[in-house]
Amino acid sequence: MSQLQVDGLDVYYGAVHALKGVNVRAEAGEIVTLIGANGAGKTTLLRTISGLVPAKGGRVMFEGKDITKIPAHEIVALGISQSPEGRMVFANLSVEDNLELGAYRRKDGAGVRKDRDAMFQLFPRLLERRKQLSGTLSGGEQQMLAIARALMSRPRLLLLDEPSLGIAPLLVRDIFKNIVEINRGGVTVLLVEQNAHMALSIAKRGYVLETGKVVLEDDAAKLATNDEVRAAYLGG
């Protein structure tokens, strides 16, 4: 059984049918990417996995457990963490406090401090700014903070929603290197991206979402050479 298995997920916002029977899975240790145009339902899928949005039908299984009806704050404790779209750092709290909140459910103070130092090692720019209010960080730094904060709960599955959004290309490369490094440390990554080129270059497998449906599913390398994908998401 896969670590994450999403079966026939149906999600509505009022009358809007945002996910229409979506099936997605991730094996432990993989990087899986989810690409698709604006409004395809990528964020909705991540939010539903995290328990922020209720599913109307279908189910989300994580490590053999049905988590479809579990509230968001408890899903974190089960080992799934998310760096949300738009980063959502706590602007009026310091970098350190943001990291501390990422570890909110943990009771092992010493372990938390150790992980915090590990985050500073992974993202040295955050170390220099540890006392700074996170609202005053640059977009790229906020993205690093959002990822680091998500890692502070020690997830086994990390959901990343458009980590490249609004960030300079050079920094995007750094962030993608970080993602690979995090994954090598044993964390499964489900990566939502509009930057399909970058995402497919680091992922093992990928899904293409269109208006709430999975229309393609393949090895990342194959998707990268697929004509339709190239035309629609890789600029020809």
- The residue within the footprint of Mg ion, chosen from 43, 82, 134, 153 (CB under 5 A), is 43
- For residue 134, count CB atoms less than 10 angstroms from its CB and return exposed for 0-12, middle for 13-18, buried for 19 or more: buried
Q: Tell me: does residue 82 bind another protein (CB under 8 A).
A: yes
- The residue within the footprint of another protein, chosen from 7, 27, 100, 218 (CB under 8 A), is 100
Using CB under 5 A as the binding rule, the residues of this chain from 57 to 96 that contact Mg ion are 85
Q: How far is the CB of 12 from another protein (least distance, A)?
A: 15
| CB closer to another protein out of 28 and 77 | 77
Q: Tell me: does residue 21 bind ligand ATP (CB under 6 A).
A: no
Q: How far is the CB of 198 from ligand ATP (least distance, A)?
A: 15
Select from 192, 172, 179 the least CA-distant residue to 49: 192
**What percent of the residues of the chain are helix, what percent strand, and what percent coil, each to the nearest 5?**
40, 30, 35
Using CB under 6 A as the binding rule, the residues of this chain from 139 to 198 that contact ligand ATP are 194
- Supply 221's token pair: 């390398």
User: Could you give phi then psi for residue 124, rounded to 5 degrees?
Assistant: -60, -30
Q: Which residue has the tokens 């404790």?
A: 77
Q: Tell me: does residue 42 bind ligand ATP (CB under 6 A).
A: yes
Q: Tell me: does residue 40 bind ligand ATP (CB under 6 A).
A: yes
Could you tell me the sign of the dihedral formed by the alpha carbons of 51, 101, 168, 156, in that order? negative
Q: Tell me: does residue 216 bind another protein (CB under 8 A).
A: no
Contact region with Mg ion (CB under 5 A), list: 41-49, 91-99, 166-174, 215-223: 41-49
- The residue within the footprint of another protein, chosen from 150, 182, 192, 199 (CB under 8 A), is 150
Instruction: Evaluate whether 78 touches 32 at the Cβ level (below 8 Å).
Output: no
Euclidean distance between CA atoms 182 and 128, whole angstroms:
21
Euclidean distance between CA atoms 128 and 184, whole angstroms:
25
Query: Would you tell me which residues interact with ligand ATP (CB under 6 A)?
Result: 13, 16, 18, 36, 38-44, 85, 194
